[in-house]
Amino acid sequence: MRAVVTGGAGYIGSGLVYLLRLNGWDVEAVDSRGGVGVTEARVQEFTPQLKPDVVFHLAAESNIEIVERIPTVVDDDMAAAEAVLEWGARRIVFTSSSAVYAEHSLPVTEESPVGPMSRYAVGKLACEKILDGAVILRLFNVIGDGNRSRDDERNSHLIPALRSKSFTLNGNDWDTPDGTTIRSWVDVEAVHAALLRGVRLRPDVYNVGGTILSTLSVVQLWERLHAPVKINPGPRRRGDVERILGDDSKLQALGWNRGRSIDQVISQL
């Protein structure tokens, strides 16, 4: 099988490329930042050497603050989605985001109303519409050590911040038990498994959720298993919601599972 992985040097993409090659796939990886075994190029300027059977489209700016500050980032993401369609793959698996949902205190299903509250989420929903007919995975908060490039500085995810022993907590005055946002946390290895399963799924939207915990609870779990962290109070980020809880029963009914517990994920870092 031939695959193209966009965002192939990123937090999720680098691990996916590794797994695909380990399992005998012929993989072309592309990323605007380049990397070992990864072509340095913008997706909309890249042409695969051979027509792919599958495109795993992961390329996007994941730092919400950058997306909010630079409006053209969303235009670039939409252009990349349109370029992916032109490659003529039999199957496209796209990583969208739980951010597309309206704020909701109950677990959201794939049928829950969408209501993007940030430019990042608006962009993800726009790409979903462009990639109509793809397998769309709406990821919740991904956690774990999936970055095969080992370049932690290039992603804005939680684990690198905790490893640095200094963490900025964006908002501690939410209407939640401990004042911090509540999220569904999903193991990055379970995300890889969902992406691989996506090759066999019928085109549709699927939630990829996980364990429901507050952000502060995750930080405290890290401290219990590893080392103290300096918590720096910060302002709420534009577009953040108080809580977003995921119902992933649709994907679980098709054989996917959440894999390791959050305790196991963090203890093995």
Tell me if 217 sits within 8 A of 266, measured CB to CB.
no
Domain residue spans in the chain?
A: 2-267
The predicted structure's pLDDT at residue 252 = 97
The predicted structure's pLDDT at residue 150 = 45
The CATH code of domain 2-267 reads 3.40.50.720
- DSSP symbol at 117: -
pTM above 0.85, yes or no: yes
Q: Give me the numbers of helices (H) and strands (E) for the chain, helices first please.
A: 9, 14
The predicted structure's pLDDT at residue 240 = 83
HSE-CB of 58 using CA atoms within 13 angstroms? 26
Residue 90 backbone dihedrals phi, psi, to 5 degrees: -70, -25
The predicted structure's pLDDT at residue 146 = 65
pLDDT tens series, the chain, 269 aa: 999 999 999 989 999 999 999 999 999 999 998 888 999 999 999 999 999 999 999 999 877 778 888 888 899 999 999 999 999 999 999 999 999 998 666 799 999 999 998 889 999 999 999 999 999 999 999 998 765 544 444 444 677 778 888 888 999 999 999 999 999 999 999 999 999 999 999 999 999 999 999 999 999 999 999 999 999 999 998 778 888 899 999 999 999 999 999 999 999 88
Q: Which residue has the tokens 């199957």?
A: 91
Angle of helix 13-22 versus helix 188-198 axis, rounded to 10? 60
Cβ-Cβ contacts under 8 Å for 222 (sequence gap 6 or more)? 162, 229, 266
The predicted structure's pLDDT at residue 145 = 79
DSSP string over 201-240: SPSSEEEE--EEEEHHHHHHHHHHHS---EEEEEPPPTT-
